[in-house]
Structure 1
């Protein structure tokens, strides 16, 4: 009949692991009668993959790249002394692995991924081998205090005169400022500024948004995609009016830190965008870089709650601007920015950490991070984001509904 139980258990199972930390657990095996088995191996592995295809004429070309960060197999049971037979009963085979320090954060998208797993395999003669695996989240500890660009203020100043099919006349002025450029998930980018419409046309909406820029790298070609992480918009700005953004928060949900350090085939950057939309014919846009980290700036520690919880999901939010009276006449009803590239709430059905995480009075990080405000965690705002497009081999084809989790902080304001 084979094994009635063959299950990898992480114990303790941490919501997020960091490089240098131990991954502990055991393989739980039970059988009601003797099972023919040569050996059982438990393997921990970390790897990244990139894959996309492009059509050229009548053919389609595929672009691929892979990196293996580590692969450690351990023989936890051998049938050599028992004639390759396992006796009936229940067994636990413990394992412990230390993660390398130079590994990237977990990541998942349509064209690339960084995944970490523990897999158990039983070599069964004259039968299909038995296996079970679990995935876990790794966060590289990107310390904003080590990045001199994190403390630089974000500043946007732009003026442009629009003249196109909407016949806008006069300059559009855009001014926006945030106190710094470095943040962690759970924080708000608090912006102040204004958009002045000196044209003769109505601005359908103004918005601020956080964009994730992903670059996939192969030997022969690179591919770049963008995903909207979060956005806030103001509806309708009439001719000659000023749209003021006064201490407007742009929440940062659970996403990986900038750059995806130690990964050579995927890079991640973030940009802050200020945008004014005129009908279908013209958009005025300005952008500046944003740095997202795993460890917050030390001078911001006092703003974090002692018992944090998950940050907001990404999405579109409308705020009521000051010094601005929208025209809600039938001819000028408010326009909502398109949602096509916005993240939706991630699927958490396969995670034991579904929904809001429990409050933490003590950090689950290693002792070396004892001075950091206790973080919580949340599943990636983009969910699994893979859709199986990369799972083109049997060895790691069942990431399923796994969504990476990231350190998340919650502020008091």
Structure 2
């Protein structure tokens, strides 16, 4: 039996993790869960159903509502769980006694929770790739070998494929991309894309930030950085290929010319379950592919002219230091601006490039490698502000 602390419980990853855990009660038990506070009814329902001992909520103004709903849902003869509220609630819960912390917090705000879990010696099932990307060397220095287990389907696939050979036998990692809703369209056709268009992903059901990132392919850029940090593979040995069916989740090519691929339907329950049970699998976590029926699997090169986000991510990753955090933070600000209709779709990645250019030309040499979380947060704050200023200037230009 593994005790699990679940962070981001009301989001897509969190709700699917709970589905897995409830179907494998002999394998897992949730002892604490946390969410931002936008859906206090769901958070209270989850806590009551799972009988957790601690509940975290990121918004302090939602704490009383959570306590009230927990009291309504809890047996009268049993005290309700402790409620921890505030911006560091997830980090506090991440350090609680448990076997595994699943970090499904959205965005780079999950960095402190990732570090708290690492420092407490927990296995970290990492759905929050942004915390690894932003924290970079801070996270990798503090994590023990094998302590970070990826939840992203692509990195879960790579971890599975890497079991087939030794480190010295790896030639390259191949990360697959669905191509998002705009696959095959030239840059000129993307100028009038709306937020609704960007959220219409053809194969995956995800939150608005990740879905928009998939449309711009920023998500794939982040995954290249994540793969480098997780598996210590140089950037020039990490490729991206477009695979619209989303059946092959990633591949590893070995020095003898053999390629090992991991295949499964596009269902996040499989990589979530594997991260929770790692290195063991969870029986019937998700449906398997029916290989008795006909399938067509296609692979296409990435178009860097229409989707320059991956090349920008490589540039940030090669630069190191806080550059990946700047890339990610600028994107988060610009995705929000896009959904507020302050900037157009193409301006998301174009403006990330402007912010990154400024960072590398004006601040990178002095900033060096981040030594503390505060260093990362300062770089992120600078990137978000620059992205905001550039977005507002774009609006004023009309």
TM-score (norm: length of structure 1): 0.21
Which of the pair is proportionally richer in strand?
Answer: 1
Q: Which structure has the larger Rg?
A: 1
Greater share of helix? 2
Structure of higher RCO (CA pairs closer than 8 Å, 6+ residues apart): 1
